[in-house]
Homo-oligomer: A and B are copies of this chain.
Amino acid sequence: MSKKKVAVLGATGAVGQRIVHMLRNHPWFGVASLTAGRSAGKRYGDAVKWLLPDGVPENLKDLVINPSTPDAVDADFVFSALPSNVAQEIEPAFAEAGFPVVSNASAYRMEPDVPLIVPEVNPDHVKLIDTQKANRGWDGFIATDPNCSTINFVLALKPLQDIMTISRVFVTTMQAISGAGYPGLPSLDILGNVVPYIGGEEEKMQTETCKVLGVLEGGLVKDASFKVAASCNRVPVVDGHLEAIYLESSEKINLDDVEAAFRGFKGKAHELGLPTSPEKPVILREEEDRPQTRLDRLAGSVPGMSVSVGRVRRGLDEHSLRFVALGHNTIRGAAGGAITLAELLAAEGYL
């Protein structure tokens, strides 16, 4: 099978770079086109301020950046790493022009006919694409992955949703600076500091979570019925979002069942053999002080794609549970999240 030709929209940004980097040896997809706003016309190697350890992939250094318009791009599908306000206009143009758009932007995530997918959690939501194409008369489509703190969160909640009726979840996040992109947070704002506010983040966690964990009924998603209260904080770490979770269920909770659910969780992505989906999407740690951000954010068979959970313990009563979840925000929470989604779409025949 020859590789599908991929364009990365917004390839010079922090998420765009991660996508480019994660695709450098991808078995199914090959980068054919890179787009950006102000840098169009420049060599990628000259235009990008590369933020990752390995350096710009050799074969892309000389690639000339295209403008982010459908007629400038030759690709089987596109990844969108555009800022949300830009994505708002550009993604529909691509979808209308016949491109499948796999988007990390928030612009269309909560549209009723746009799927919001974590392949291990709600792969069946791909069918929303049929609704979307029918609604909008597009040849292409938009499919999205959730916000960086939500992806890790739903991966940790899914095994629990499988064994109990979650009624409420309280989550407090300690999020890495890379979640704010580049240049993102000024260093004076975060060095030696904690900032108890991230614009829009709490709303995203509270709404996106219920959509991802919702069920497909009559061609649309019926949101999960539990409530989420999020408190989002920025802490001075480079990568990795740690989340302290308190959860309530309608039924009594057995802690052994919870641990077994975490340990046994696989998800359909594994069955489908998606290359970027790890053996264990959820890794249970039993030490009293793990997972830790720096030590565990790259855990698992595909570094940065697994969520580590730990400190599983009781809440204030038998219907409640406390634990901690950690995920890599720019891998699973952004670039890797989009790539596994594209892999799912390919496996399901949508690309």
Q: Separation in Å of the A311 CB from the closest CB of chain B?
A: 6
Asked whether A193 and B293 contact (CB < 8 A) given A172-B244, A183-B188, the answer is yes
Q: Point out the residues of chain B lying under 8 angstroms from A180, CB to CB.
A: 187
Q: Is the CB of B233 within 8 A of A246?
A: no
17 more contacts with CB within 8 A, not counting A186-B186, A192-B192, A197-B288, are: A53-B297, A53-B299, A54-B298, A170-B170, A170-B246, A172-B244, A174-B233, A174-B235, A184-B188, A187-B190, A191-B237, A193-B293, A195-B292, A196-B292, A196-B310, A231-B322, A238-B294
Q: Is the CB of A311 within 8 A of B197?
A: yes
Q: Is the CB of B231 within 8 A of A246?
A: yes
Q: Point out the residues of chain B lying under 8 angstroms from A289, CB to CB.
A: 195-197
Q: Point out the residues of chain B lying under 8 angstroms from A244, CB to CB.
A: 172, 196, 231, 233
Residues 229 to 253 of chain A near chain B (Cβ within 8 Å):
229, 231, 233, 235-238, 240, 242, 244, 246
Q: Is the CB of A311 within 8 A of B178?
A: no
Asked whether A182 and B188 contact (CB < 8 A) given A229-B246, A242-B233, A299-B55, the answer is yes
Asked if A260 is an interface residue, CB under 8 A from chain B, the answer is no
Asked if A168 is an interface residue, CB under 8 A from chain B, the answer is yes
Q: Which of B55, B187, B231 contacts A177 (CB 8 A)?
A: B187
Q: Point out the residues of chain B lying under 8 angstroms from A192, CB to CB.
A: 191-192, 236-238, 293-294
The residue on B at minimum CB distance from A191 is B238
Asked whether A191 and B191 contact (CB < 8 A) given A53-B298, A294-B238, A299-B53, the answer is yes
Asked if A324 is an interface residue, CB under 8 A from chain B, the answer is yes
Q: Which of B184, B235, B298 contacts A194 (CB 8 A)?
A: B235
Chain A, residues 102-120, CB within 8 Å of chain B (1/0): the string is: 0000000000000000000
Residues 51 to 91 of chain A near chain B (Cβ within 8 Å):
51-55
